[in-house]
Structure 1
Amino acid sequence: MDPFYDLDAAAIALEQLSIERRERSKQFKDALPHLADIEAGSYSVVESGAARKNWKLCIQEEDEEVATEIVFTLQGVLSKANLVPKQIRDCRPNNIIKLSQYAELSGLGTKLFEDGMANTSIIHDNFAQHFGGGTPVFPWIPATGPTGTIFSANNRLFTLKIDSPTEQSTEFEPGVDPVGMLERLKTRDLFHGPENIVKYFKMSVDDDSGEIKYLPTVPGTFKVGDLVEMQGSFVAIMTTQNQIKVTTRLHALTALDNSLTKAADKGRAAFQAKVVLNQKQVRRKIGYFYEDSEEGQASKKQHTGDDKRMQYH
């Protein structure tokens, strides 16, 4: 993490913000649950109707013909992100299908974030129980970094038509394809569909009323160090080795607070300005010293044409 970034202040702010948003979501019936609040008995693993087999975590609703996928929220410090592909050198379909929007969050050791990680382990175990012992399931091993546990999610930018023959192509979200590079990669067999969409928001709080609004924004809004909220879901897919892998799919990213990132930028700029002010001109001497003898002085005058003790270049 940036040496000018205040990790202690970020941990305090993240803990407070996470608790506030969790409690606020409980006031609304249809609000998305926090990752730590997904109870084991409230969901089931449901096979999707897509051509390529995958299984999703859904709310148990016996009377409903259509299952409702569980989308969770998780707050953290944005530690890494690749939301807009910068350059594509290999345009072969096997490479294009791997292009994705990726975000990585750090919890800085905060309790609610770690509770979410513990629940993620339980969810993965429930996926494994669903498939029994017949099909091996990749174990979930949480990633760690200098600032603690890391949680990541991604969403591919394209879908193969053979995997979802009934889905229709849709436009990219604002800011995802600023120069039209991704649009040109679409083909009859490769499209950007509803399952590939990642939404981007920025939280706005009215100073007088305290009313919270979520305004659409672009991926370029997000910087490493920002406090953000991720919306994601769990999807199990069958790999080419006939093994089950549970992945986390990214659906939305919301900018909550960038004050610490701005403070780090300000501190860095002040430090760099101070370095410039303290810089001094440095002189360099190049040449040869001559002894104060008559032979040395004569040799010096013969070769240099003057009588200085050193030649400067």
Structure 2
Amino acid sequence: MDGISTYHTDKPKCWKLATVDPESGDKEEVVITIQGIICQKELPPLMERPSSHSIHFVRQQIQLTSLECPIFKRTVQTIQRLDHLLSRQVPDGKMDPLQLPSALCDTALEPGNRYFTARRDDPDSKDLPFDPAVDPKGLLEGIHTSSYFHGQDNQVMYFVALADDGQHKFAHVSLMHFRVGDIVEAQITLACVPIKKDKFKTVLHLRSIAMMDSSHTQVRTDCRPT
């Protein structure tokens, strides 16, 4: 983990990972990029209004696996090493082990991002409106209270990969309708956060999703009955 260090924030209280520019001293949060196959998803837009009691937990997330891809496995191992680095920042025995799910007989990752942050955890960040594509019916806005806000850290960016001279370029889109089986590229950050009973755990924050290949899930329209 050469060049990667941890830093602590009070609002919200957590430990994060960063690289430091040797000349300027500026910190840049470590972002993990990984490609995989969507095997489960909870993505916008929502079809039903969540309970106001669940505002702290409602989130968007995906579950990614790779069907034994070596690059995916190496990235998972990197995440496990970063989790160990974060665990060194808390008292011994206070870190919950990183639990990685399995899917299709392979290790999976399940990054997510809450739609709301408690104002008590972050009293200063700006409250932002929901993108109309994310909340077209106002269901999330409908459970919005003064105790919670939707900030920049709660947003997930959506992209589509475009082929250009054999290379991928990414175009921003307001929202992609991802399907189970799509091949995507996700960007993830890690944070060590406090949980109940004075313990801590590493969470995988979903920052962006890019559609790489949807050909396996597209409905064929060239074979219509006559």
Same fold (TM over 0.5): yes
Residue 87 (str. 1) matches residue 48 (str. 2) = yes
* Separation (CA, whole Å) in 1 of partners of 2:122 and 2:26: 18
Cα 1:184–1:223 shift into 2, 3 Å: same
Work out whether residues 83 and 219 of structure 1, in 8 Å CA contact, stay in contact via their aligned partners in 2.
no
Aligned position for 1:199: 157
Aligned position for 1:245: 201
Report matched runs for 1:150-229 at 5 Å.
150-206=108-164, 209-210=165-166, 212-229=168-185
Aligned position for 1:139: 97
Cα 1:83–1:106 shift into 2, 3 Å: same
Q: Which runs of 5+ in 2 are unaligned?
A: none
The aligned length equals: 223
* Separation (CA, whole Å) in 1 of partners of 2:89 and 2:150: 31
Deviations 1:165-201 (A, max 9, x none): 1111112234210111112222222110011010001
Report the alpha carbon displacement of residue 214 of structure 1 after superposing the two structures with TM.
Answer: 1.8
Aligned position for 1:32: none
Aligned position for 2:214: 258
Q: In structure 2, the residue corresponding to 1:173 is in which secondary structure?
A: coil
Amino acid at match of 1:204: L
Amino acid at match of 1:69: E
* Normalised TM-score (structure 2): 0.89
Residue 231 (str. 1) matches residue 187 (str. 2) = yes
Structure number having the greater strand percentage: 2
Deviations 1:249-294 (A, max 9, x none): 00000001111222xx449x97xx8xxxxxxxxxxxxxxxxxxxxx
* Separation (CA, whole Å) in 2 of partners of 1:145 and 1:213: 29
Cα 1:144–1:231 shift into 2, 3 Å: same
Over the aligned positions, Cα root-mean-square deviation in angstroms equals 2.3
* Separation (CA, whole Å) in 2 of partners of 1:55 and 1:41: 18
Report the alpha carbon displacement of residue 211 of structure 1 after superposing the two structures with TM.
Answer: 5.8
Work out whether residues 49 and 140 of structure 2, in 8 Å CA contact, stay in contact via their aligned partners in 1.
no
Q: Which runs of 5+ in 1 are unaligned?
A: 1-39, 274-313
* Separation (CA, whole Å) in 2 of partners of 1:147 and 1:258: 22
Work out whether residues 39 and 103 of structure 2, in 8 Å CA contact, stay in contact via their aligned partners in 1.
no
* Separation (CA, whole Å) in 1 of partners of 2:213 and 2:117: 33
Aligned position for 2:63: 104
* Separation (CA, whole Å) in 1 of partners of 2:197 and 2:145: 27
* Separation (CA, whole Å) in 2 of partners of 1:174 and 1:257: 25
Work out whether residues 103 and 153 of structure 1, in 8 Å CA contact, stay in contact via their aligned partners in 2.
yes
* Separation (CA, whole Å) in 2 of partners of 1:41 and 1:174: 41
* Separation (CA, whole Å) in 1 of partners of 2:197 and 2:183: 38
* Normalised TM-score (structure 1): 0.66
Over the matched positions of the two proteins, sequence identity in percent amounts to 25
Q: Which has the larger radius of gyration?
A: 1
* Separation (CA, whole Å) in 2 of partners of 1:90 and 1:142: 28
Q: In structure 2, the residue corresponding to 1:41 is in which secondary structure?
A: coil
Deviations 1:46-88 (A, max 9, x none): 10141x4111011134665653211110000111111123223
Cα 1:163–1:102 shift into 2, 3 Å: same
Amino acid at match of 2:185: E
* Separation (CA, whole Å) in 2 of partners of 1:109 and 1:212: 23
Structure number having the greater helix percentage: 1
* Separation (CA, whole Å) in 2 of partners of 1:239 and 1:141: 15
Runs of 4+ in 1 over 4 A off after TM superposition: 61-66
Amino acid at match of 1:81: K
* Separation (CA, whole Å) in 2 of partners of 1:89 and 1:194: 21
Cα 1:113–1:211 shift into 2, 3 Å: closer
